[in-house]
Amino acid sequence: MEWGNASDITSAGCNIIMASAAIYAAYNAKSWFSQRSHTKGFDKAEEIIAKIDNYVRFANGSLADLKSTFETLDGITNWLAQPDINLKKKYGTLAEEHRLQNILIEELKEEVNLIERWSIKVKNKSVIDINLRLLSLIHTFAHDTYLKASTAIDYITNKSKSDFDEIFTEFKGNFNNFQSNLDYLNNVYEEFKGKKFTFFFKVK
């Protein structure tokens, strides 16, 4: 065997080994990226579930504050309590809290819509959607209710009892809508929280 031929054979063998190593590395890289994508996707899916749980708790916690606001305004309209101008700012601040909460819910809706880019498929999306729609509606009613309360305090402190009574009637309408939608949310949330993680998400 000539030296040149032996060198060629060795070179060819090295090329085969290098090519095999490159293929193996590419396969491992693809596998790593796929695994990484799934891991990231499941992390985001877990966050979605946790955020819905937290947002429902926040909505239910809001009921006590709104009931207190109702009692305050009811006392004023029946001359059982004196109006406090400081309540105007307080109710305006609470209205803003619910507006900001609604922004967070809209962002979460977008997270649900975009999660499939992480190789995670959303199943039974309608169960998630109805909880988010109701949360959005509830915070809209809460926001509007507090704005009515703030306006009512402004009217009564400016000695306009008839205007106060009119806006208080609108307040009660919004408050009733808040309560009825919160009750509906709690009913559908029972179905949501009773489902396993795999009911909502799977690997694509």
3-state helix, strand, coil split of the chain in percent (to 5) is 85, 5, 10
Task: Report residue 144 as tokens.
Answer: 């509007």
Span 3-21, mean pLDDT?
A: 51
| pLDDT (0 to 100) of residue 27 | 43
Span 33-56, mean pLDDT?
A: 82
What is the pLDDT of the chain when averaged over all its residues?
A: 84
* Residue ranges covered by each domain of the chain: 40-203
| pLDDT (0 to 100) of residue 21 | 45
Cβ–Cβ < 8 Å for 184, 134: yes
Cβ–Cβ < 8 Å for 178, 145: yes
Q: Is the pLDDT of residue 188 over 90?
A: yes
Q: Is the pLDDT of residue 161 over 70?
A: yes
| pLDDT (0 to 100) of residue 199 | 95
3-state secondary structure of 117: helix
Q: What is the dihedral of CA 53, 178, 128, 40, to 10 degrees?
A: -40
Q: Nearest 5 degrees, angle CA 142-CA 143-CA 149?
A: 85
Q: Is the pLDDT of residue 97 over 60?
A: yes
Res. 25 pLDDT band, cuts 50 70 90: very low
Give the Cα separation of 61 and 55 in Å (integer): 10
By CB atoms closer than 10 A (0-12, 13-18, 19+), residue 200 is buried
Res. 24 pLDDT band, cuts 50 70 90: very low
Give the Cα separation of 100 and 104 in Å (integer): 7
- pTM for the whole structure: 0.79
Task: Name the least confident of 24-28, 86-90, 140-144, 190-194.
Answer: 24-28
* Sequence-distant (≥ 6) Cβ neighbours of residue 82 within 8 angstroms: 76
Q: Is the pLDDT of residue 167 over 80?
A: yes
| pLDDT (0 to 100) of residue 48 | 95
- CATH number for 40-203: choose from 3.30.70, 1.20.120, 1.10.155, 1.10.10: 1.20.120
Residue with tokens 């993680």, as numbered in its chain: 197
**Which position has the higher pLDDT, 202 or 171?**
171
Torsion over CA: 61, 66, 71, 75 (sign): positive
172-183: per-residue pLDDT in tens? 999 999 999 999
**Which position has the higher pLDDT, 9 or 82?**
82
**Which position has the higher pLDDT, 16 or 158?**
158
Task: Report residue 187 as tokens.
Answer: 């009913």
